[in-house]
Amino acid sequence: MATTTLHPAAPTYRGARGTLYEWVTTTDHKKIGIMYLINSFLFFFIGGLLALGVRLELAQPGLQFVTDQTYNELFTMHATFMIFLFIIPILAGFGNYVVPLQIGAPDMAFPRINALSLWMLPLAGILLLISFVTGGSAAAGWTSYSPLSQDRPLAATGSGQDLWIVGLVLIGTSSILGSVNFLVTIFKMRAPGMTLFRMPIMVWTVLVTMVLVLMATPVITSALIMLFIDRNYGGSFFDPANGGDAILYQNVFWFYSHPAVYVMILPAMGMISEILPVFSRKPLFGFKAFIFATAAIGALGFSVWAHHMFTTGAVYLPFFSLMTFLIAVPTGVKMFNWTFTLWRGQLMLKTPLLFALGFLTMFLIGGINGAFSASVPVDFAIHDTYWVVAHIHYVLFGGSVFGVMAGFYYWFPKMTGRMLNETLGRIQFVLMFIGFNLTFFPMHELGLSGMPRRIADYASNAAWNDLNVAATIGGFTIALSMLPFLWNIFVSLRSGPVAGDDPWEGNTLEWATSSPPPPYNFDHLPEIRSERPLFDQRHGQAAGH
């Protein structure tokens, strides 16, 4: 039986409504997860608006709309919001909602700390937003390299940079507390029968992600603190005139920020690994290989950080180039596994699968142009050009954002009890896919022909005009695709078809309870003998493992 009846004593969760007070003071991982999503999407839109500002200025040579300084603020804060207040938290938010359900737990291990982690985010976001009106935001790039990010010798940034540092330290703390929470939850609170190797891939990717967060985030906290001390207390960490080293900042910064990119992609890969089997009506190909590939990516991710610093002359090039190439191996294993999951499957071309297919193709492109960049001579040519911008957006937008959209369409019915509209979903997908490629594909050519990053203006005889216009049109198309998305949510929340417990015929435990689940998650858990407990329940047990 796939349906569960709500215990009479459970408060009604229809539409996941509750009073404002209930939401603000909740420690329920499901409500907290949803608020993570809301906060993250809010900053996605803000970051998107900043990107539109960038694209508007770059469409034509010459400074039409903003000054150089304002342009620097635009791209700095675009990246800052997108990385720290959108992609990392939204994946944590999905994890928050889904992981306890998928392991059959009633909540996270530390519900109050969970709430604390959540509320630190809008607080940090407000600090970052305030900086726009208190004399200008940070403007030294999201990487904030010294000496540009210090006020010497040029007063390039003001208090905005300090607010930026404080905001990021808050966000980092939120992440670290979250990672402790997830790790204890996953290791201590699994339902009986759910061994580590029977956990869904989503839980595994969240596990590895949280190890990365736990180990790497404190390092950027230390880099930011050192920067703060240099800026405000006459410190000399990064000041060569007093014995410091500007490259030291980059070294410590990237020791975190490289593992951070795996933090930004692994949970999205987990979501895709949940969606592809369900919508191909086939088990995930190579389940165990997946787990090891995920662990390998996590481990290798710590050994490649200096590939962001190849051109500084201070890096042992062969080591980092080799390790960077090596990471392509477990990633390739995953691509093959996903492809063979789809192969000869009975594909249900619903919106989650569309976005998953978008993920596979776009992330593949991002992986390939990244593999090129791993080669030192190539990197010397394309470092700090638009080739890199193309790479990062193909993996982060083509990969993570498409993954997020797939996951959103997949789990929205569970969270709200309503189905999202398929037609609107398809319209969003098509607009987003076209817009995304129109924006970022030309950047490969722009980078190869030498257009540098982070410039507000470019020469009109560089032959970059047309590609920039194309990219700007693409950017606005992406913005357009947000309209059917928002309309879909609005309409479906009010009058979408009722979802029931298990609208997709899923494999994992979250589909074994009502939509939305009661506060304590499960009235009754099915027997767990494999990584697909619901499939087993529906079809009689296959050989468990």
Partner 1 sequence: MATDSQALTTTTEHSPVGGLAHDSTGGISNPVLGMLLFITSEVMFFSGLFAAYFNVRANAAQWPPINPETGEQFHLAILPFVGPATVLLILSSFTCQFGVWAIRRGDRTLFLRNFAVTFVLGVTFLIMQGIDYALLASEGITLSAGTFGTTYFTLTGFHGAHVFGGVIMLAVVLYRGMAGQFSPRHHDAVEAASLYWHFVDVVWILLFSLLYLLPGK
Partner 2 sequence: MHPLRHPRNAIFLGLLFVGIGLVYLFVPLIGGWHVDYAGATMLIALGAAMSIMAYVLIAGSPND
Considering only 142-150, 197-205, 248-256, 386-394, which stretch makes contact with partner 1 by CB under 8 A? 248-256
- Phi and psi, residue 419, nearest 5°: -90, 145
**309 lies in the binding site for partner 1 (CB under 8 A):** no
**Which region among 12-20, 214-222, 331-339, 458-466 touches partner 2 (by CB under 8 A)?**
214-222
Closest CA to 255 of 290, 213, 302, 287: 302
Residues 97-116 that bind partner 1 (CB under 8 A): 109-110
Helical residues (DSSP H) of 496-518, grouped into ranges: none
* Interface residue with partner 1, options 59, 101, 226, 509 (CB under 8 A): 226
Only one residue has tokens 């985010």, namely 121
Block residue for tokens 């191996």: 329
Q: C-beta of 369: minimal distance to partner 2 in Å? A: 26
Given a contact cutoff of 8 angstroms between Cβ atoms, the answer to whether 142 and 83 are in contact is yes
Q: What's the closest the beta carbon of residue 210 comes to partner 1, in angstroms?
A: 9
Q: What is the DSSP letter of 398?
A: I
Residue 66 vs 248, nearer CB to partner 2: 248
One residue of 10, 116, 148, 229 binding partner 1 per CB under 8 A: 229
Among 227, 315, 357, 392, binds partner 2 (CB under 8 A): 315
Interface with partner 1, residue 248, by CB under 8 A: yes
The entry of partner 2, partner 1, none near residue 237 (CB within 5 to 8 angstroms by kind) is partner 1
Closest CB 219 distance from partner 1, rounded Å: 4
Residue 179 binds which entry of partner 2, partner 1, none, CB below 5-8 Å type-dependent: partner 1
Query: Does the protein bind partner 2 through residue 213 (CB under 8 A)?
Result: no
Q: How far apart are CA 59 and CA 467, in angstroms?
A: 9
Size of the site for partner 1 (CB under 8 A): 37
Distance between CA 239 and CA 31 in Å, rounded? 46
Nearer to partner 2, 16 or 317 (CB): 317
> What residue ranges in 292-426 does DSSP mark as E strands?
none
Residues with Cβ < 8 Å from 170, sequence gap 6 or more?
120, 123, 124, 127
Q: Does residue 149 belong to the site contacting partner 1 (CB under 8 A)?
A: no
The verdict on 252 binding partner 1 (CB under 8 A) reads yes
- Tell me if 255 contacts partner 1 by CB under 8 A: yes
**264 near partner 2 (CB under 8 A):** no
**306 touches partner 2 by CB under 8 A:** yes
Using DSSP, state whether 255 is helix, strand or coil: helix
Q: Which stretch binds partner 2 (CB under 8 A): 150-158, 209-217, 228-236, 273-281?
A: 209-217
Local structure of 525: helix, strand or coil: coil
477 binds partner 1 (CB under 8 A): no
The three-state DSSP-derived secondary structure of 262-323 is: HHHHHHHHHHHHHHHHHHHCCCCCCHHHHHHHHHHHHHHHHHCHHHHCHHHCCCCHHHHHHH
